[in-house]
Structure formats: C-alpha cells, structure tokens
Chains A and B, each alone.
Chain A
Amino acid sequence: MILKCDLHIHSCLSPCGSLEMSPSEIVKTALEKGLDVIAVADHNTALNSPAIEKLCRGTALTPLFAIEATSSEEFHSLCLFPTAERAVSFGQMLYENLVSLPNNPEKFGDQVYVDENDNILGELEKYLTGGAVSFSSDRLLELVHREGGLFIPAHIDRAAFSLTSQLGFIPPDPYDALEITNWPPPEGVGNLPLICDSDAHYPEDMGKRFFYLESPDKTAEAILLAIKQGRTRLSIAK
C-alpha cells in the first residue's frame, strides 16, 4: 500500500511550536489533510506522544513517535520510534542530558505537555531548542538503534542546525535516511534513503511537504523498515 507520511511535526511542547498545536488539533488536521502516517517530533522530549497515541486509536491515522534531538555537534536529527513508550523514555534520557538554560516562555514560547483532552499536565523548564545533549550524533545513533528506532539527520540542507551547516559534509555513518527540504538533495547523500516532511509549527503547515511510502501494511515496524529500504517518493522531487 502507498502511505502519505509527515514525520516532522512540532507540538505545543516545542517552544517554537504554536500553542494551537495540541495533540488533538494535530490529529484532527492530519486526518483533514489526508495523511496516513504522522510523527510529532518535539525538541529533545517526547512528552506529547502518549496523547497522540491515544487520539490516533480508532482513526485511519498511524502514529510513529519521534524526537528532534540536538546532538553535541548541534545538528538536529529525527529519532523515530515505533511506540510512544519508547519515545518517552528516550526523550526523558535526552532531556536529562540536555545542556541548556531555563526557558523564558514570554520570549521564546511555552513548553507544555498535555493529555488527549488538551489539559495541561506540565511544563518543561529547560529551553529545548537552545542547548544540546551531551552525546555525539554517532552515540545517539547507537542508542536509537538499540531501542529499535531509526536515526535520520533532519533538514540536512538548511543553514542552521543541520549536518551540512555544522560539519560541512555528510559523514559515512550508518544513518537510516536523510531528511531534506529542497530539491535536488545536497551533494554526498549517496544511496541513503531520503524523506521530506513539513517541520510544521502551525496547523496550516502540516503536510505542506510529505512523502509517499510503499509499505506492505500499516504497522509501525513495517513502516520503519520501508523507510530504511528507501521505498519513498518525495513531494518536493522534480
């Protein structure tokens, strides 16, 4: 089957994500936009994953659970997990090892996690986008693989917080795929699978970039494997 995927969506938990981006709003908008597979990817935490998991039950949507991690080299990577539980515990570990300063919500935005009914459960204190976790990207990649997840450097063609902006080249690490935002892809992507996502911070931006995935079924495991196998077709491809 062909699945329409957007695996990089920010919720209200990211300081840069709009407060409108509650899990219920994300699920509702994803269904309206005809997406089949979504992943919320907040910065260095996954505390909105449980609400997303609950809200997707009984709908046509298949959720994966992501975190946009900032490794010590300060480039962003999507850590993509099959279950909310694994994402939450990985996010907990990232947050504990995040070197950052306290957030200033008035200046940078709120960092709230909520339940499936949009009730605020709590707020994170450390500024999630300003710092970095004390693990190098290759160490993070190892840890993600150990948890059965995929490690995908994010928006590698951007001028900030990307593999190319921070390192200047694409190292020969065993990445599962690379996320790009423009066509053609930068030099050095080799044969790695490519994906593209919206990186939405507001509901209207969801699905503005997406990719089609050819997968035997809608289970998280099959979807992760199909990404690794590069069975993707990008909305931005010319």
Chain B
Amino acid sequence: MKLKSINQILGYETIVENSKNDFFSNAYTSDLLSDVMGNAPADSVLITIQAHKNTIAVATLAEIRAIILCNGRTAPDDMIEAAAGENISIYRTDDNQYEASWKIKGLLDGE
C-alpha cells in the first residue's frame, strides 16, 4: 500500500512525506517504544500518540515507514527534522488510535 493513501484516502494530514520508502505492508499500534522495538513488523506504519523525536529513532531501528499521530497531537520541529533525515513519513489525525487502527486495517485489507 502506498503511504500517500493515508492522506489521499483517509484524509489524514501529511506532516512529512517521503517518496523514498513510500510503501507499507503492515501496521502496529503502541505507545511504548520498547514494545515497538520488540514487536512491530518491518514496513509498518506506527499508530501512536508519542509525538517526539525518540519515536523516529525507534522507527528507524524497527524499519517503520511512517508514524500516524492520533488525537490531534502535533509533531515538534525536532521530530519533523529527524523524520525527514531518516526518510520516515508522519501523518496526523484527530482520530483516536482505535479508529486509526481500524481505518489502516481497512486500507490494507482493501488492497
């Protein structure tokens, strides 16, 4: 699935969009970064409310392609900068994690 579908189909706001790693094939929902490191599948989008640059470091290690920030949380500048440097996309939504997980599942199932 193309990452840009998250914006084009679900209408989530694009904060950082990278064209380099622009596919995802899985998703993971968690707010504990150690849990993400241990359990998130590669090529995932991460559905979370942890809006800070450490999330990008963990995403890099876990080969996560994009972060979806839920509940309208905003990405601080240093997080946006880190994401751009690591070719990781960031999207933002007012949906909560439950709703976002459902919608992402729908996207992946619809492929």
Q: What residues of chain A have their CB less than 8 Å away from a CB belonging to chain B?
A: 70, 72-74, 99-101, 104, 107-108, 127, 129-132, 159-161
Contact = CB atoms under 8 A, between A and B. Distances in A.
A160 B50 contact: yes
A127 B32 contact: no
B37 A131 contact: yes
Contact of B37 (A72, A130, A159): A130
Interface in B27-53: 32-34, 37-38, 50-52
A129 B54 contact: yes
Contacts, number: 44
- Taking residues whose C-beta sits less than 8 angstroms from the other chain, chain B's interface range is 10 to 19
B62 interface: yes
B60 interface: yes
Interface of B: 32-34, 37-38, 50-52, 54, 57-58, 60-62, 76, 86
A130 B54 contact: yes
Contacts of B33: 74, 130-132
Given A99-B38, A159-B52, A160-B54, A132 B61 contact: no
23 contacts: A70-B34, A73-B32, A74-B32, A74-B34, A99-B34, A100-B34, A101-B37, A101-B61, A104-B61, A107-B57, A108-B57, A127-B61, A129-B54, A130-B33, A130-B37, A130-B57, A131-B34, A131-B37, A132-B32, A159-B51, A159-B52, A159-B76, A161-B54
A38 to B, nearest CB: 25
